[in-house]
Amino acid sequence: MGNWILKALIQGVISVTPMSEDLNFLFQKYVTHSVKQSKSSLSIRLVWCGKHIEYYRQYSSGQNLPSSTLELGTGWLSTVPVGLYLSGIDTIYTVDIHDLRKREVQVDLLNVLTSFATEELKAKLPTLIESRFDSLREMWRSGQTPEEIFQSMGIRFLIADARHLDLQAGTIPFFVSNTTFEHIPGAMLTDILREFHRLATPDAVMSHLIDMSDHYEHFDHSLSVYSFLQHGPLLWRLVNNSLMYQNRLRINDFRAIHQTAGFKIVHEENHIKHAARLDEIKLAAAFREYRREDLIPSSSWMISKPV
C-alpha cells in the first residue's frame, strides 16, 4: 500500500468522525508535521505575498497599494495577511468556511516571524515597511495575545461561505488566494468569483496562486504531480475525502471559471517543468478529452480583472 493511500484512508476516516478538524490538526501536527513553522516555511508564503503585491502594482491603474484586500482561504496560518499588513495595507479580510485557526500555530507564527532580522525579512518581502515590523515586534514582546495583535494589524477573520459575504458591493480593490482554488468544487468556485465580481471595484485586481498538482505527491514522492489524473471517478471518490479535497481541474477549467464569473485573465505564470512525466501515466477517460497543453501546468499564478 502506498503512503498516499494510507494517508487518504486515515484522513477519510477522520473526515466522518465528530471533531474531524481537531483530529486532522493532531494528525498534521504529530504525523505529517505540516503545521510546525520555521523561517523557511514562512519565507515561502512571504515571497507569495510579495508576488501578489507586485502583480497588483503591475496591473492596477496606480502604484499605491489599496487600503483593503480580501484573501480567500485562511487555513491554518495567517502569514500572507500579516505580510500584507507589513507592506502597508490597512484592512485585510480573510475568509474561510471553517475556522482552522489554532492558538499554538498563531503563537508559533509570531515567534518565528519576529525572530527575523529586519534586512533578513526584507529579502523575502521587499515591500516591508520597517516601522510596521517594529510595531509588530513591540506588540508581541509586550505580551499582547495573537488575537489582539491581528486586530491591531487590521486583519479581519470572516468565517463564512465566500459565495455570500456581508461586505458592500464595489469596495474591494484586491483579491488574493494561495493554493486554495484546487480545493473547491468548480461550481462553488464559480459562485465565489461571481461574489468577488460583486464586491470588486472597477479597477480591481485578482491574484490567485493555484496548485494543480496531485497533493498526495507532497507527502509520497513515489508519485508524480500528475498521478491523480489516472484515477477513474470511483477510485477518486474513495480517496478524495473532505479534509484533502482536490477538484483535479486543469488550467482551461480555471480560465473558463474566471470568464463565467466576469473576469478577464490578464496574465498567467504557469509551471510546466514536469511536463515529461505526464507520459508516465495512463490518463483516466475524463482527462483524455483535454488538450495536452491544458494538462501540463502543475501550478499557475492567474491575474485577472473584472469586465
DSSP result, 214-270: -GGGGT-TTS-TTGGGG--HHHHHHH--GGG------HHHHHHHHHHHTEEEEEEEE
Angle at 166 (CA atoms; ends 170, 184), nearest 5 degrees = 90
| Contact call for residues 76 and 105 (beta carbons, < 8 A) | yes
Q: Domain ranges in the chain?
A: 35-212+249-306
CA atoms in the 13 A half-sphere facing the CB of 259: 6
pTM, two decimals, is: 0.91
Angle between helices 79-86 and 39-59 in degrees, nearest 10: 60
Q: What is the pLDDT of residue 101?
A: 86
**35-212+249-306 CATH fold:** Rossmann fold (3.40.50)
pLDDT digits (tens, 9 = 90+) for 93-151: 999 999 988 889 999 999 999 999 999 999 999 999 999 999 999 999 999 999 999 99
Residue segments in the chain with a per-residue pLDDT below the cut of 70: 1-2, 7, 9, 23-35
